[in-house]
Structures are given as structure tokens and as C-alpha cells.
Amino acid sequence: MEWSIEKIKLDLKYTWKISRNSSAFKENFIISCKTATGIGKGEIAPNIRYQETPENILSHFNAIVNELNQLSFTDQEVNRYIAKQAIPNALKFGLQSAFTQAYCIHHKQSIHSYLNIDKPTQVGSCYTLPIMEMNELEPFFNQHQLHRFKQIKIKVNDASGIDLVKEVLGLGAPSIMIDANEAWKDVEELIRFTEVIQKLPVLFIEQPMPSDFTEAYKHLKKHSKLPIMADESVLSEPNFDEIEQQFHGVNMKLMKAGSYQNGIRILQEAKRRNMICMIGCMVETTLGIKAAWDLCSLADYVDLDGCLIVANEPFHAVYEKDGYFFEKE
């Protein structure tokens, strides 16, 4: 195998603003795993929330690339090597997905048969709105033709939530997902918020408080009028005995899980405990989105719109039509 890495700058169609930060572009990486029979590619989408930066991604890759090049071309050896490295999870997934693609090319098999999962049929995704002023919502909604999506996810903070939900519903959104990105600090205020909006078509609230508010989450789950979904609380090794006490469901992202197999394990364990399963993404090209798309037969909800805000998307591995994602034809 011959491994390499390339940094790519993703220009965004608009400023991506959440409760923690905002950005007009993203810097991701493409990993290539070249063999005699083909080239597998994987994407890395670093997230500063988990102390992942372009600089430490490159540093970690350069520290192990020589060892990677010397590994035998077997899934057991490569996957075991990647799993035991003390490197960012996004880098782990970039490496593992590039290898998996190369391995499947070599053995002439599909990713679904290799992973022993069903190929998804219809993959309907939500569309996520960045935080914006109330008077910007209607022109944004119309400009991006968001009526085609069956679910709209809104980023809120503890002050703007109720008015924002009502405004987006008034624009014609059939149902709403709320993603607070850990913005709330007062659990009783949050419970009152769920009481106010429980009669509206809101599906759930995703990670409303910081991930270390474990006792507050346990209290919230007992009293919330809406399902509570875990995102930032679910990394590569979630303690499901704890997660189950705090949340009704999980949002699994491969960039946090670190491998296809671990992402599948997280979803299957959540399902075993009768929890809601969602597959999400970072801001990624369609290369990374296709990797998540491949697992969507395991999900109740899907949030794969991260490629739709990229202005210079280079791969076109999936495409979106009427709110659904399809493989490249």
C-alpha cells in the first residue's frame, strides 16, 4: 500500500454559524490508499470541539505513514493498527474508510456486503439552518428551496428557540429537529421550553446542554416532553449504561466513531436498547457523506446535508433530489 494525504479547502455557500463558532470555509483532508488494483479514498473533517485541527491531523498522519505503508494488505491487520493508534477519531475514520474502499475494489465486493449490512433504499435527510436573524429566515428558506425537505433542523440558543420554531413552521416546514449544540445551561428552563413546544411538530431536541451535565440530563430525560438526542455526548466509546439514562436516542457520526465497524456497533447497541438512531455528519464533501449514506439502513433519522453547503464540491459521490440522497449514477 502507498498512503498519502491532501488538504482541501471547502468554500461554503454561506457563513455556517452555530452556538460555538462560525466559519466561511472548512479545511478537510482526503486520504488515499493506493494498491496494485486501485485507489481507495477517505475524508477527514476535523472538528475543533474535539481538539482536531488541520495541524494536528497532518502531524499525526506524518508520524505513522511509514508504518502504514509497511502493513500487509489485510483488513484484520490494517483495522487493528488504526484502532490502536492514539490519533484523532476523524483521522482514524479517514484512514479506515480509504483502506476499506481499496479493499473492496481489490476483492470486487460492495461496501454493504463487506460490512454485512443492508444497502439503503430511500435516504431522506433533514436540512440544517445555521443561526441567523429572524428577518433572514424567509429569504434564506426561499433562496435554497427548502420546502423540498420533510424535516428542517434549526440551530438555537436558549433565548431564541420558541420564536424560531414558530417562524420556520410558518414558512412551511413539515417538522422540526432542534439542535442546541450545548447552548442551554439551565435544565429547568429547558424543561419549560419542552412544555411550551410539545404540541408543535418538533421531533426531538439534540444535545441541548454540555456533555458533562450528566446529572442534569438524567433529570431532563425524566421530565422532558420531547425526546432528547445525544450528539456531543457520543464519541468513539460511549458508555451506554450512562447514555441510556440521559437520552432517548443517539446521533452517530463516523468522524467521531473512528471506523465503519464502530459506527455500526454504536447504532446497533442503541437500537438494542430501543433508542432512536440518527446518522449525522460534519461539513464534508460527498466522499464523506457517501460513507455515512452507506449505513443509513440502520438509522431512523438522517442528517447528511453537510455537502449541500459546500460551493466547490469535487467528488459528486451522492446527489440530492427532493430531499433524498442517492448514489452517483
If we measure between CA atoms, which residue out of 304, 182, 300, 305 comes closest to residue 249?
300
Instruction: Show the DSSP H helices in the chain as ranges.
Output: 54-70, 75-84, 89-107, 111-115, 137-143, 161-170, 187-197, 214-223, 240-246, 254-257, 260-272, 286-293
pTM, to two decimals: 0.96
Quote the CA–CA distance of 271 and 276 in Å, as a whole number.
Answer: 7
Write down the pLDDT at residue 153: 97
Low-confidence ranges of the chain (pLDDT < 70): 19, 158-160
Write down the pLDDT at residue 108: 97
196, 206 Cβ separation under 8 angstroms: no
> C-alpha grid cell for residue 159?
433565548
47, 90 Cβ separation under 8 angstroms: yes
Quote the CA–CA distance of 203 and 222 in Å, as a whole number.
Answer: 17
Quote the CA–CA distance of 42 and 118 in Å, as a whole number.
Answer: 21
With both helix axes pointing from N to C terminus, report the angle between 89-107 and 54-70 in degrees, rounded to the nearest 10. Answer: 40
Quote the CA–CA distance of 225 and 144 in Å, as a whole number.
Answer: 32
What is the separation of C-alpha 141 from the centre of its chain, rounded to a whole number of angstroms? 22
How many residues are present in the chain? 329
> C-alpha grid cell for residue 145?
428551496
Superfamily of domain 118-327: Enolase-like C-terminal domain (3.20.20.120)
Domain 2-114 class, CATH top level: alpha beta
If we measure between CA atoms, which residue out of 329, 316, 324, 295 comes closest to residue 123?
324
Write down the pLDDT at residue 156: 83
Quote the CA–CA distance of 323 and 172 in Å, as a whole number.
Answer: 14
Domain layout of the chain by residue ranges: 2-114, 118-327
What is the separation of C-alpha 122 from the centre of its chain, rounded to a whole number of angstroms? 18
Quote the CA–CA distance of 60 and 29 in Å, as a whole number.
Answer: 13
Write down the pLDDT at residue 131: 85
What are 209-255's pLDDT values in tens digits?
999 999 999 999 999 999 999 999 999 999 999 999 999 999 999 99
DSSP tag of 182: T
> C-alpha grid cell for residue 106?
481489490
Write phi, then psi, for 197 (nearest 5 degrees): -100, 5
DSSP for 245-285, please give it: HH-SEEEE-HHHH-SHHHHHHHHHHHHHTT-EEEE---S--
- Same topology between domain 2-114 and domain 118-327: no
For cell 444497502, what's the residue?
119
